[in-house]
Amino acid sequence: AQKVTQAQTEISVVEKEDVTLDCVYETRDTTYYLFWYKQPPSGELVFLIRRNSFDEQNEISGRYSWNFQKSTSSFNFTITASQVVDSAVYFCALSQNFGNEKLTFGTGTRLTIIP
């Protein structure tokens, strides 16, 4: 069975601070995919990133960066110089590689950026 744990239920930081959202996953598959989605107050899930289990290179996209460490089964997400628009619930998710990409989500981390 697959499982995703986001231990941080809520985080608040002051604008311009950096913040890291933690994600730990469990799977028996050797090939799998990891995702981050953003859910702003409007409710629609917005795709941020997908990584496969063979690619442990960290990735940076603007103010966003992701740290994938297979040894600790973690896929953490860092926002640098946070902005008020970053306020949202962030979900980490996991899928198998058997032609069915159903996602297993964590419970999410509510991030509030204080102006």
x/- map, 57-86, another protein, by CB under 8 A = ------------------------------
Stretch that binds another protein, among 20-28, 39-47, 57-65, 69-77 (CB under 8 A): 39-47
- Can you say how many angstroms the Cα of residue 47 is from the centroid of all Cα atoms in its chain? 10
Residue with tokens 């859910």: 39
Query: Which one of 22, 33, 67, 80 is in contact with another protein (CB under 8 A)?
Result: 33
3-class state of residue 27 by DSSP: coil
Give the binding site for another protein (CB under 8 A). 4, 31, 33, 37, 42-47, 50, 52, 91, 93, 95-108
